[in-house]
A = this chain, B = another copy of it.
Amino acid sequence: MPRIDGARVVADLKRLAEFGRYKTGVHRPTYSPDDVASRHWLADQFAAAGLVPEIDGIGNVFGRNHIATRHLLVGSHSETQPYGGWLDGALGVIYALELARAFAADADCAGFGIDTIAWADEEGHYGQMLGSRSFTGAVGEEELAACKSRDGVPLADALEKAGFAGRKREEVDPARYVGYLEAHIEQGDTLESSGRRIGVVEAIVGIRNFMVTLTGQQNHAGTTQMARRKDAGVAMVRLAARIHDRFAALAGPRTVWTIGRILLDPNAPSIVPGRSDMQVQFRDIDTAKLAAFEAALYEMVGESDRAGPCRAAIAPMSQVEPRPMDGVFQGAIEGAAERHAPGLHLRMPSGAGHDAQIVSHRLRAGMMFIPSINGVSHHWSEDTSEDDIVLGAQVFADAALAILKAG
């Protein structure tokens, strides 16, 4: 069995968190100087573990094992959310590094190689899951040329500045790999609140996003009598309340939905809003459930439009299909968890998106979760106990070996 050096895992995570350190978290947006420096540091660590390092044309950092005959690709992303946590992404990359070292040191693992990967821009500073999508061949040159950061910086300029421009973008060789394995913090509190320490991801949820726009007529809030108003704010709050009621009635046990963004125009206290936009999002691992939510949403928007006095329109913004994780991979993770933490593991969906869902289109894929303290995520205060980090690494290593053996 590969033996994890828990202290080394924690030390490497802490060292990686120095790049862009912010309070107890990290601010390391993709292609920022801190991100570029951390990718070079990771390449050096991969080399020190006996792997051949490469940073490709999108910033993905690879470590390739040229000795083994069967390979598992293991990793996660290494950039962070703005002022985000120290483990989101980083955990899976350092676990991969540790697995490469542990496998190399263990006779049981002879012939089995861990290829490490630190994906670029899963967090979408320039484009959602840009690195893993590039690796699976899903990113064309036109998309790259059009890609800009949230601040309007063209991706091409960022890659040039990072020193990655002009390099080849690596694409997956499905023949090389048994599959792809990713560890991540849960980012929710399902494990913590149920007293479990390992999550076996069954599927990554599908996500559908819609923009709902209500158009009325902007008017003076003092001189326009109620009967004459076409208040897009009133129409929005009524429709939003109905959406929440209807979705609650339709929901499965793990469906989630969110109206997270609302804009009134002009959003002034003494002006009747002439327009309102709201983004409606829902997630489930069941495509039929997603379709039912979508149909209900279109129906409610249509009812609002017909009822007047405001017009209501809906447009899809994005759609990601649910991705089941490989059954053999799930079994391997569960078996390893049962050995090291009997009874303290749970099969669960991932409510957040991950590179594994992208890679799963080209390779068999699996994911393992460890707990997040209080379920905090995308915030510098995100954390996980060192005990859970170390246990997770050992379970993950055992699972990787089981997957490679099962082939």
Contact = CB atoms under 8 A, between A and B. Distances in A.
Interface of A: 186-190, 193, 205, 207, 209, 218-226, 228, 231, 233-234, 236-238, 240-241, 244, 248, 251, 254-264, 267-273, 279, 281, 283, 350-353, 375, 377-379
Between A353, A378, A379, the greatest number of chain B beta carbons within 10 A of the residue's beta carbon is seen for A378
13 contacts: A188-B225, A189-B224, A222-B350, A222-B352, A223-B350, A224-B375, A233-B262, A258-B270, A260-B268, A260-B270, A262-B264, A263-B267, A269-B281
Interface of A is mostly: mixed
B189 A228 contact: yes
Contact of A283 (B222, B237, B248, B283): B222
Contacts of A225: 188, 190, 254, 256, 351
A347 to B, nearest CB: 15
Query: 4 tightest A-B contacts by CB?
Result: A188-B223, A222-B351, A237-B240, A221-B258
Contacts of A241: 237-238, 241
B244 A377 contact: no
| Copies of this polypeptide in the complex | 2
A223 B269 contact: no
A293 to B, nearest CB: 13
A222 B237 contact: no
A254 to B, nearest CB: 7
Nearest to A239: B237
Between A222, A237, A350, the greatest number of chain B beta carbons within 10 A of the residue's beta carbon is seen for A222
A258 B231 contact: yes
Nearest to A353: B222
Contacts of A353: 222
B237 A244 contact: yes
Contacts of A209: 269
Nearest to A238: B241
A270 B378 CA distance: 11
Contact of A264 (B190, B218, B234, B261): B261
A205 B222 contact: yes
A238 B248 CA distance: 14
A22 to B, nearest CB: 17
Nearest to A258: B221
A259 to B, nearest CB: 6
Contacts of A188: 220, 222-225
Given A193-B228, A226-B255, A262-B264, 11 more contacts: A188-B224, A221-B283, A223-B350, A223-B351, A225-B254, A226-B248, A226-B251, A260-B271, A262-B262, A263-B267, A271-B378
Contacts of A238: 241, 244
Nearest to A218: B379
A269 B262 contact: no
A281 B260 CA distance: 24
Contacts of A351: 220, 222-225
B377 A220 contact: yes
B268 A261 contact: yes
Between A255, A258, A260, the greatest number of chain B beta carbons within 10 A of the residue's beta carbon is seen for A258
Given A209-B269, A262-B264, A352-B220, A256 B378 contact: no
A201 to B, nearest CB: 12
A35 B21 CA distance: 51
Given A237-B241, A264-B262, A377-B220, A256 B187 contact: no
Given A238-B244, A258-B270, A378 B264 contact: no
